Amino acid sequence: MTKIPMSEIINKTISRAMHDSNKVICFGLGVTDPKGVFGTTLNLKKKYGSARVFDVPASENALTGFAIGASLNSSIPILTHQRLDFALLSLDQIINGAAKWLYMFGGELNVPITIRMIIGRGWGQGPTHSQNLQSVFSHIPGLKVVSASTPDNVANLLYSSIFDPNPVIFLEHRWLHNSMGTFPKELKNNELGKCKVLKKGKDITLISLSYMTLECVEAAKILKKFKIEAEIVDLRTISPLDQKTIINSLKKTRRALVADTSNNFCGISSTVASIINQKIDNLKNKVEIVSLPFCPEPTSHQLVKHFYNDRYTIVNKVLKMFEINHKIERDKSIKPDVPGEWFKGPF
């Protein structure tokens, strides 16, 4: 099958959902711009008209309220934010409105909203444009939280989110938009709440989400040279969390490393580590966590290169767990805040 960028897969998925149900509407800042939110909403207005695909004023809180109202009147809204950071202005609507509605009305009224939020880093982004706050939304009962990681899985996850009866926070790391994958012939709408084992192994379980899943895949290739067979579990859905798949893997490997795109204090990585410690008695090592420092993300290139983690961070932690006295050095020619030559940033 022909491989296409993840941004195009997202675009095709939204288009398929809009084709499958005329109740689906798509709106947000920039969805009709020439760049179409990193290419994810290109040509949708041309296909489905301005009544279903439209740009909006810059008022995130009001837009989320509009989405709630639309969903209560039989629409299926897809609200897109070009940054998670911008969506913070709508936390009242998300937490006190969308997340609580089904509970407050005795299970009678659903709020089927998908709120797409772009996360991730890149040169010049700094503290207020590169936050990874998945743990904030995962803490709220009533919200489902999805963390897209691989282009081959994103279509089914997004399609499932759109047609789920609950409000879904759908997180996309901006570096992943240019990763290449395939668009499935048939789309599934039951993929939420399921981890995916991307690679089987017997020696250690690498548990990851978002962009760090790609780093775990590359780390596993390096570890194989040291005769360490890593199993990779991609969380995909953070809430609800598929604990069964995680625990089944740990029963086999008895070692775990959790790789997150955020810091571990009150974070997803800490939660996963806690679950493992509660349910697995005879671990061979303590659960290791690869996460960011507990401070705002820097803008300066000189600070950034010491801030983020990658495959080498993962490999070196695993080698230490296996008491292998060897350290893999980073390739200094690779810039820590630029994923490839194609990236022209900062926006």
Tell me whether residue 173 is one of the annotated catalytic residues. no
Looking at 129, 191, 215, 297, which residue is catalytic? 129
Biggest alpha carbon–alpha carbon distance for the chain: 62
Tokens of 209: 């989400």
Helix (H) or strand (E) holding 214: helix 211-224
User: For residues 70 and 56, is the Cβ–Cβ distance under 8 A?
Assistant: no
Domain boundaries, the chain: 4-181, 196-321
Tell me whether residue 60 is one of the annotated catalytic residues. yes
Looking at 8, 60, 231, 288, which residue is catalytic? 60
**Tens of pLDDT, residue by residue, the chain (347 residues):** 789 999 999 999 999 999 999 999 999 999 999 999 999 999 999 999 999 999 999 999 999 999 999 999 999 999 999 999 999 999 999 999 999 999 999 999 999 999 999 998 876 788 999 999 999 999 999 999 999 999 999 999 999 999 999 999 999 998 899 899 999 999 999 999 999 999 999 999 999 999 999 999 999 999 999 999 999 999 999 999 999 999 999 999 999 999 999 999 999 999 999 999 999 999 999 999 999 999 998 888 788 888 899 999 999 999 999 999 999 988 777 777 776 666 665 54
**Which residue has tokens 């691989």?**
150
Q: What is the DSSP letter of 328?
A: P
Tokens of 29: 């800042």
How do strand 288-292 and strand 256-263 relate by DSSP bridges?
parallel
Q: What's the rounded Cα separation, in Å, for the pair 228 and 245?
A: 21
How do strand 230-234 and strand 288-292 relate by DSSP bridges?
unpaired
Going by C-alpha positions, the residue among 177, 72, 74, 75 that lies closest to residue 116 is: 177
Going by C-alpha positions, the residue among 133, 139, 144, 95 that lies closest to residue 297 is: 133
**Which residue has tokens 């805040």?**
337
| DSSP per-residue codes, 77-111 | EEEEES-HHHHGGGHIIIIIIITTHHHHTTT----
Q: What's the rounded Cα separation, in Å, for the pair 141 and 164?
A: 16
The architecture CATH gives domain 196-321: 3-Layer(aba) Sandwich (3.40)
Fold (topology level) of 4-181: Rossmann fold (3.40.50)
Tokens of 4: 């296409």
Question: What residues have CB less than 8 Å from 58, skipping those under 6 apart?
Answer: 29
Q: What's the rounded Cα separation, in Å, for the pair 188 and 191?
A: 7
| DSSP per-residue codes, 237-295 | EEETT-HHHHHHHHHHH--EEEEEEEESTTSHHHHHHHHHHHH-S--SSPPEEEEE-SS
Fold matches, 4-181 and 196-321: yes
